Amino acid sequence: MSEMEIDEALSNSGVFEDISPDNDGSILKTITKQGEGEDHPFTGCKVYVHYVGRLVNGEKFDSSKDRGDVFSFNVGTNSVIKGWDVGVVTMKKNETCELKISPQHAYGEAGFPPKIPENSTLIFEIELLSWEDEDVTKDKGVHKHVIKEGLDISKPKLDSLVKIHIRGMYNGTLFNEEDVEFLIGEGYAHDVVEGVEKAICKMRKHERALVYVKSQYAYKDKGCEKYNIPPNADEIEYDICLFTFERPKEIYEMDYEEKLIRAQTLKDRAVKCIKANEYEKAIEFYERILKFVQINSEDSDYVLGLPFKIASHSNQALCYIKLHDYHNAKLQCNEVISLDGKSVKGYYRLGEAFIGLTEYKQAIQAFESVIGIESENKAAKNQVQHCKQLLKKQTEKEKKMYGNMLFSS
């Protein structure tokens, strides 16, 4: 049977539905087995399917069933041909359908030799077995279930001003419902937890979704007295509708002066986070600043961005020290010192990082470097004496431990 004859038979049967984006017949679907329920997969979720792929002449070129392997992919991430992304989101659980996909939504003019000739229309039989909500954080700490698909393809990001309706539930009890407008990264000032912010950055305008947030992205081990949420509360549920958001300029759309202005804005926001003890969020802002001031050291504008680089690394070190992540604090201090060999903050915070790592000799050297720059720095002098006491105790403890080992042997 020729492709023209197949097209004619399909059009006469009346069972194929045109699901192509432009309604031009380039993706046709017919259901061969009805599915269950009313839910459909959505962009971002992970689907599990069985499939058989054929050319229009009936020749089979691939089959998950023959291999005995269930095939999975994330919808809308360009991991499969366009026709699949379009077709699978129209299916219900346990539905089986047939998709007829024209070359522009398959492998195009080039095909996929040797199995798929150039400019091939493909026929896929697909069985939708199941799907999982979108894993927003890639560690199952936040997952998102779309109730209503949004518009366009753009999404908010760290610099976006968003307006949402949010409804929070815990253990079946409503604890908060409101419209709220805020800048992504400053949700903490509006009782919006980190997990919700991360989910919003995966949403489109007018999208509505259920978002499930575990404790590490919500109220952690502190809980929230205001909303009567206990420490380490997992699976907090939020019903979120993203009304609008403002799309800031991309880095590549800015000249260097605009980048410096944005860097200052981000720096101001990071300082707010530090004052609110939101150290992880502050680190995100400082990392963002570094992208805006990234420039070759030989460029004439390099000196304009240098203070932002130094401040970003130095304040990240401070944040990591507050989080007791002394290894990353040390790395950030080394970046500061490489940019400014006479940075008092750089050496002082390096000393604090070494104390946290119980590397007291190196801590003494770092604080002595501070004194070498500022001879009357009392804080550094006190730290040197403190470290010497800690080193003495450490040495005595090691001597005692090794002495016991020798005695035992």
Positions annotated as catalytic residues are: 51, 61-62, 81, 107, 124
Q: How far apart are the two ends of the chain, measured CA to CA in Å?
A: 88
**Helices 344-356 and 378-408: angle between axes, nearest 10 degrees:** 20
Of residues 388, 350, 392, the one with CA closest to residue 367: 350
For residue 355, the one-letter residue type is: I
Cβ-proximal residues to 126 (8 Å cutoff; 6+ apart), any chain: 49, 50, 51, 84, 87, 88, 91, 96, 97, 98, 99
The full DSSP string for 330-362 is HHHHHHHHHH-TT-HHHHHHHHHHHHHTT-HHH
Q: Which residues of 20-48 are buried (b: 16+ CB within 10 A; e: fewer)?
A: beeeeebbbbebeeebeeeebbbbbbbbb
Q: What are phi and psi of 240, to 5 degrees?
A: -125, 135
d(CA 3, CA 25): 14
The whole-angstrom separation of Cα 78 and Cα 371 is: 56
Q: Is residue 157 a contact partner of residue 200, using CB atoms and an 8 Å limit? A: no
Q: Where do we find the tokens 């404790």?
A: 215
